[in-house]
Amino acid sequence: MNHLTMEQLLELREPGREPGAGAAYRHFEGCEQCRTEADRLAQRVARLKALPSPRASRNRFLEIRSRFAAERRRRRFRAATLAVLALAASVALAVVLRGDGGAGDRTSAGAAAEAELREAMARSRDMEAALRAFDPDRRVIDGRTASIAFRLEDQLGAVDRQLEMLGLMPSSPEPVDRERLRLWRERVGLLDALMDVHLTRAKYAGM
C-alpha cells in the first residue's frame, strides 16, 4: 500500500468518520514514515494553537457604542414618529368634535404657556452652548460616567426627534402646544443632568 495522503492522515485524527479508515489505520500502525508524518502534523497544529493572539491597535468601544446608540435612536425615532402621529390624529379628532377651529380666542393661560415655552427654549440654547464650550468629547471619561452620559444623550435624541415631528405639524392646537412645552421642559432637564454629570466628573478629576 502507498503511504497515507495528507487527507488520510488528517482523517485519522477524527477516527471512525470515513469508510476505509480501518485500512488506513492498519497501514499507519506498521509504517514508520506515516507515523513520522503524523507527528509533524500534530506538532504543526500545536504550534498553530500556540501562536500569539494579534491585538487590535486601538480601543474601538466608544465607536461601537456610538454606532449602536445611533441605531437605537433611529429605532426610537420610528417609535416616536408613531406616537406623534397618534397624537396628531387625536388632536384632529378633538378639533373636529369641538368644531370651533381653536384659533379665535387665545386666553391669557395660552399666552403664559407660550412665554414659558420661549423661556425653556432659551434656557435649552444656553445650556447647549455651555456644554459645547465644555467640550466633553475631548475629555477622558470613565466607564460609569460614560454610561450615564450615553443614556442621557439617548434620551435627548428621542426628545429631539419628537420635537422635530411636532414641528412638522401644520397647525398648533392646544394639545400640541402642551406637548411641545412638555418636551422642551424635559430637554432642559436632560441637558441640566448631562452638564451635572460632566462637571461632577471634572471636579473629581481635578480639572
Partner 1 sequence: MDVYRLAQEDTLVTQARRGDPSAQEAIYRAFETPVYGLARRICRTREDAEDVMQETFLEVFRSLARFRGDGSLWGWVRRITASKALMRLRRNKYRDADDLDEGFVDGPRDRTVLRMDLEAALERLSETARAVVWLHDVEGYTHDEIGRMMDRTPSFSKSQLARAHHRLRAWLGEEVAI
Number of DSSP helices (H) and strands (E) in the chain, helices first: 7, 0
Q: How many residues bind partner 1 (CB under 8 A)?
A: 39
Q: Which long-range contacts (CB under 8 A, 24 or more apart) does 191-194 make?
A: 191/124, 191/127, 191/128, 191/131, 191/156, 192/127, 193/152, 194/131, 194/149, 194/152, 194/153, 194/156
171 binds partner 1 (CB under 8 A): no
Instruction: Report the residue number, 21 or 121, with the smaller CB distance to partner 1.
Output: 21
3-state secondary structure of 133: helix
List binders of partner 1 among 148-167 (CB under 8 A).
Answer: 150-151, 154
CB of residue 68 to partner 1, shortest distance in Å? 5
143 binds partner 1 (CB under 8 A): yes
List binders of partner 1 among 44-73 (CB under 8 A).
Answer: 44-45, 47-49, 51, 53-57, 59-61, 63-65, 67-68, 71-72
Instruction: Report the residue number, 87 or 146, with the smaller CB distance to partner 1.
Output: 146
144 binds partner 1 (CB under 8 A): yes
d(CA 169, CA 122): 22
Dihedral, CA atoms, 162, 69, 119, 111, nearest 10 degrees? 10
Instruction: Report the residue number, 41 or 131, with the smaller CB distance to partner 1.
Output: 41
Sequence-ordered list of residues with C-beta below 8 angstroms from that of 15, at least 6 positions apart, any chain: 21, 25
Q: Which residue has the cell 514508520?
A: 32
26 binds partner 1 (CB under 8 A): no
- Binding positions for partner 1, rule: CB under 8 A: 5-7, 10-11, 14, 36, 39-41, 43-45, 47-49, 51, 53-57, 59-61, 63-65, 67-68, 71-72, 143-144, 146-147, 150-151, 154
